[in-house]
Amino acid sequence: HRLRLIRDMQIMGMLSLISCVLCVALIFIGHIIAAQWVFGLSVLLLAGSLFLSVYEIILSTKALDIQLS
């Protein structure tokens, strides 16, 4: 379960960065409206990745507490 969380977190983070690059390219060629939509998608992907990261940290600390007790 935790490995899937980490994988999904990393995929969302990479897709966010790729979306940022696409956003810059769209701005460069003058497609501002499309760039705004892609940037919005990038922010959502990054937020999702960060949410999964926090959730995985919570699970990891619970597992570590169990292991140490």
What digits encode the pLDDT tens for the residues 23-49?
999 999 999 999 999 999 999 999 999
Region 7-36: what's the mean pLDDT? 97
Q: What pLDDT does 41 receive?
A: 97
Q: How confident is the model at residue 67 (pLDDT cuts 50, 70, 90)?
A: confident
- d(CA 33, CA 31) in angstroms, rounded, equals 6
Question: Does the pLDDT at position 69 exceed 90?
Answer: no
- Mean pLDDT, the chain, rounded, equals 95
- d(CA 51, CA 33) in angstroms, rounded, equals 27
- d(CA 69, CA 21) in angstroms, rounded, equals 46
CB 5 within 8 A of CB 55: yes
Q: Name the more confident of 40 and 68.
A: 40
